[in-house]
Amino acid sequence: MKKCYIGIDTSNYTTSVAVVNEAGEVVANLKAPLPVGEGARGLRQSDAVFAHTKNLPALLDRLGEILGEYTPVAVCVSDRPRGVADSYMPCFLSGVVAARAIAAARGIPLFTTSHQEGHLMAALHSAGAPLVAGQPFGAFHVSGGTTEMLLVTPDDAAFTVEKIGGTADLNAGQAVDRIGVLMGLSFPAGPALEALARENDKPIPRPRISVREGVCHISGLENMAAALFRETDDKPLVAAFVLRFIGDTLAAMAAHLRATHGVLPLLFAGGVMSNRIIAAALTSRLGADVYFAEPAFSADNAAGVALLCRAKAH
C-alpha cells in the first residue's frame, strides 16, 4: 500500500480535510463551508463548533473512500490560529478531536501546527515558490480573521513567524464581507464582489489609504464604500473601489517591508488573496519574486497542514 499523510483544519468558516502522498503531491483537498444565515456578517464560535461537528462525518466518509489505495502513516491538525502561546479559538478543537480519533484508531503519530502555518505551506506549494531552509521571506496572511505582514523563516518542518505589521482595526476580509452584505451579497462576499468588480467600466476613485510603518487602517474603507454606494448606487464601481483600496494598502505595506528588510520574496496567502484582481495589481506594482497561490490553496484549506504532516513525519 502507498503511504499518505492526513491534514485537518477547522477554521471559522470552512471544514477541511486533505491527503498528501509520499511524493508530496496533494491527492485530495476536501472542503465544506460553514453555513451563515442570510444577511449575517459572521458566525459565533459556538455556531462554528456545531457546524464543524455536522460537517466532519461527511468529509471523513469521503476521506475513507480516498484512502482505499493508501495507508495513512501520520495525521496533523491545526489546533490554533497562529503559532504563539496565547493564540486560541474554540473552532479548532473540532479538528483536534477528529485528528486524535484517527491517530488512536490507526495507531499513527499525531502532529499539530497552526492555521497560519498551514496557509503558508499551502500557498508555497501551490505557487511553486522556492523554499530554502533558513532563508527568510516576507508573507501576507489576509483573510476575514487576519490581516498580517510577516517575516517568515522556514526550516524542514515548520516556520518561524514574526509579525512585523498588519491592521490596527478591521481585517480586509471583514471589510469585503460587510460591504458585500450592505450591497445585498451573501456572506462570505469575496467571490461575488470580485465578479461585480469585473463588470465595472468606470474610472475607480483613488482611495485614501492609511499605512504607516507597516501598520494599516482598514475601518475607513467601510464608510468610504458605503458613501460611494449611496451616491452612485453602482455595485460594480463600489466593488472595484473596495479591491483597489485593499490592493493599494497591501502594496504600501509591502514597500515598507522591502525598505526595512531588503528585497525579499513575497508570498500572499489567505482567503482575500484568492482574489485575482488584487493579485494582478500587486504583481504589476511589486515586480519579481511575488507569489500567489491558486484560489483553492489560498482560501481556507487543509492541504498545507497535510504537507506539514509529511515534513514532520520524515
Going residue by residue through the chain (314 aa), what tens digit of pLDDT does each one get? 799 999 999 998 899 999 999 999 999 999 999 998 776 677 799 999 999 999 999 999 999 999 998 999 999 999 999 988 889 999 999 999 999 999 999 999 999 999 999 999 999 999 988 767 789 999 999 999 899 999 999 987 889 999 999 999 999 999 999 999 999 999 889 999 999 999 999 999 999 999 999 999 999 999 999 999 999 999 999 999 999 999 999 999 999 999 999 999 999 999 999 999 999 999 999 988 999 999 999 999 999 999 999 999 99
Q: How far apart are CA 221 and CA 140, in angstroms?
A: 19
Residues 73, 193, single domain; the answer is no
Residues 309, 266, single domain; the answer is no
Helix or strand (DSSP H, E) at 151: strand 147-154
Residues 121, 239, single domain; the answer is no
Q: Classify residue 158: in a domain, yes or no.
A: no
Residues 55, 101, single domain; the answer is yes
Residues 100, 177, single domain; the answer is no
Q: Classify residue 145: in a domain, yes or no.
A: no
Residues 178, 114, single domain; the answer is no
Q: Classify residue 19: in a domain, yes or no.
A: yes
Q: Classify residue 154: in a domain, yes or no.
A: no
CB-based contacts of 165, cutoff 8 Å, min separation 6: 148, 149, 213, 214, 215, 216, 253, 256, 257
Per-residue pLDDT, 203? 98
Do residues 245 and 221 lie in contact, with contact meaning Cβ atoms separated by under 8 Å?
Answer: yes
CATH number of 73's domain: 3.30.420.40
Q: Classify residue 62: in a domain, yes or no.
A: yes
Q: Is the peptide bond before 203 cis (omega within 30 degrees of 0)?
A: no
DSSP conformation letters of 81-142: SSSSTT---THHHHHHHHHHHHHHHHT--EEEEEHHHHHHHHHHHHHT----TT--EEEEEE
Residue ranges of alpha helices (H) inside 146-189 are: 172-182
Residues 185, 73, single domain; the answer is no
Residues 98, 186, single domain; the answer is no
Q: How far apart are CA 145 and CA 137, in angstroms?
A: 22
Per-residue pLDDT, 37? 78
Summarised one tens digit per residue, pLDDT across range 179-226 is 999 999 998 899 999 999 999 999 999 999 999 999 999 999 999 999
- Joined grid coordinates for residue 35: 453555513
Q: Classify residue 235: in a domain, yes or no.
A: yes
**Which residues form the domain of 240?**
165-294
Residue ranges of alpha helices (H) inside the chain are: 45-66, 91-106, 115-127, 172-182, 190-199, 219-232, 235-261, 276-286, 295-298, 303-313
Looking at the 3D structure of the chain, how many domains does it have? 2
Residues 175, 267, single domain; the answer is yes
Do residues 135 and 101 lie in contact, with contact meaning Cβ atoms separated by under 8 Å?
Answer: no
Q: Classify residue 55: in a domain, yes or no.
A: yes
Per-residue pLDDT, 39? 67
Do residues 28 and 68 lie in contact, with contact meaning Cβ atoms separated by under 8 Å?
Answer: no
Per-residue pLDDT, 279? 96
Q: Classify residue 201: in a domain, yes or no.
A: yes
Residues 169, 227, single domain; the answer is yes
Summarised one tens digit per residue, pLDDT across range 16-52 is 999 999 999 999 999 999 998 776 677 799 999 999 9
